[in-house]
């Protein structure tokens, strides 16, 4: 019988020691705190009590079966029967992440933190290794606890904020994470902010393909790897800008130069408040774009903001563009800089 042996976590974080042991039906090799893998991955979903815990990395879906003192051979992954030692009980648990829980908020909720999970039964705490966020499917297992296991609960701490769920009733204490359960999809998600931008160029020169878009703002309890302070929320918004070509046309309108954007530096503020985090989305940013030329950048912005936060976002950008070609006998520079000042209405 393969056992996972996290010792009772009463004294803090303790090591998990996977062990191979020959377990007879008398359970002589099974100790309180051991984890026995179940036969199938979703073993307790259909007949167990279902509940869930919302975390910034996704919603943890949990189902718990009835505590038992006997595991039949077809209950365990190793197809071996196991009896709990006197005075102890197996608590059956199935869990998995719903990683797509937060939809278009995921860009702001990403975090390097991992949950710390404890099973509490009869006032004794057992540390359980948290499921892998990248895993697929459900994971089912039994935890051997002292007592009858009827009052078992899960306590989940994420980045210093704890929640708990009663496995028998599904009742949940959300604590400071309550705002995660209230998130709803944003309506009219993206709007144009191209007309809100002003570049330092004079006609007849022109930017024929500059574009700016901004999402509807969101109020979040967790963003940029941090929980908001008590009674506050983070204000989050995403801005996307695109600039590929700048046509510098001389006043005679018969000559000029063409430049392609290669880099951009952007700063942001709302009123006098600067963002606590500017997350450049590497999966959507192509700057410079080696195929089409130009510069596309996507920023996820997180502000510490109150109810009276101003409704306009100030964006200042400096583009560096490289000479692509000249026409009409003009002489171009190797590179030029363009600045953009934008005042964007937030919704």
What's the average model confidence in pLDDT over 136-144?
Answer: 86
What integer pLDDT is reported at residue 7 of this predicted model?
Answer: 43
Please give the Cα distance from 130 to 53 (Å, whole number): 13
What is the percent of the chain with per-residue pLDDT over 90, rounded to a whole number?
A: 64
What integer pLDDT is reported at residue 187 of this predicted model?
Answer: 66
What integer pLDDT is reported at residue 4 of this predicted model?
Answer: 62
When comparing pLDDT for 2 and 191, which is higher?
191
Half-sphere exposure in the Cβ direction for 125 (13 Å, CA): 13
Give me the sheet containing 335-345, strands edge to edge: 197-199, 335-345, 312-327, 256-270, 245-249
What integer pLDDT is reported at residue 3 of this predicted model?
Answer: 63
Question: In a 3-state reduction of DSSP, which class is residue 106?
Answer: helix
CB burial of residue 284 (10 Å; 0-12, 13-18, 19+): middle
What integer pLDDT is reported at residue 43 of this predicted model?
Answer: 81
What's the average model confidence in pLDDT over 15-21?
Answer: 33
**pLDDT tens digits for 319-338?**
999 999 999 988 889 999 99
What's the average model confidence in pLDDT over 17-30?
Answer: 47
Give me the sheet containing 88-98, strands edge to edge: 19-20, 2-4, 35-37, 139-146, 88-98, 58-64, 49-55
**pLDDT tens digits for 203-249?**
999 998 999 999 999 899 999 999 999 888 999 999 999 999 999 99
Handedness of CA 133, 138, 139, 141 (dihedral sign): positive
Q: Any idea which of 96-100, 120-124, 266-270, 327-331 has the lowest mean pLDDT?
A: 96-100
Q: How far is CA 342 from CA 33, 117, 264, 303, 339, in A?
A: 59, 46, 14, 18, 10
Averaged pLDDT of the chain? 87
What integer pLDDT is reported at residue 20 of this predicted model?
Answer: 31
Please give the Cα distance from 44 to 141 (Å, whole number): 9
When comparing pLDDT for 107 and 163, which is higher?
163
């Amino acid at each position: 019988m393969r056992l996972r042996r996290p010792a009772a976590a009463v004294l803090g974080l303790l090591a998990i020691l996977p062990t191979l042991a020959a377990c007879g039906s008398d359970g002589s090799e099974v100790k309180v705190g051991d984890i026995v893998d179940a036969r199938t991955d979703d073993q307790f979903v259909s007949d167990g009590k279902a509940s869930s815990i919302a975390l910034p990395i996704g919603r943890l879906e949990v189902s718990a079966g009835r505590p038992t003192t006997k595991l039949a051979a077809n209950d365990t992954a190793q197809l071996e029967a196991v009896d709990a030692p006197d005075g102890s009980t197996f608590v059956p648990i199935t869990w998995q992440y719903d990683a797509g829980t937060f939809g278009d908020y995921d860009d702001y909720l990403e975090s390097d933190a991992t949950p710390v999970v404890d099973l509490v039964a009869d006032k004794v705490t057992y540390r359980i290794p948290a499921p892998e966020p990248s895993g697929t499917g459900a994971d089912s297992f039994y935890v051997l606890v002292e007592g009858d296991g009827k009052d078992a609960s899960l306590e989940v701490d994420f980045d210093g904020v704890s929640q708990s769920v009663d496995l028998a009733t599904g009742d949940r204490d959300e604590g400071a994470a309550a705002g995660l359960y209230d998130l709803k999809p944003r309506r009219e998600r993206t709007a144009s902010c191209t007309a809100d931008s002003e570049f330092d160029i004079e006609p007849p020169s022109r930017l024929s393909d500059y574009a700016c878009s901004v999402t509807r703002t969101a109020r979040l309890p967790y963003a940029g790897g941090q929980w908001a302070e008590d009674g506050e929320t983070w204000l989050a918004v995403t801005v996307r800008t695109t600039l590929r070509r700048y046509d510098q046309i001389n006043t005679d309108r018969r000559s000029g130069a063409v430049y392609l954007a290669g880099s951009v530096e952007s700063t942001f503020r709302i009123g006098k408040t600067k963002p606590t985090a500017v997350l450049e989305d590497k999966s959507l940013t192509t700057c410079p774009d080696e195929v089409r030329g130009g510069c596309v950048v996507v920023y996820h912005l997180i502000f510490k903001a109150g109810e009276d936060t101003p409704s306009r976002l100030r964006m200042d950008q400096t583009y560096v563009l490289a000479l692509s070609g000249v026409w009409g006998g003009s002489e171009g520079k190797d590179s030029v800089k363009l600045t953009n000042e934008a005042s964007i209405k937030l919704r």
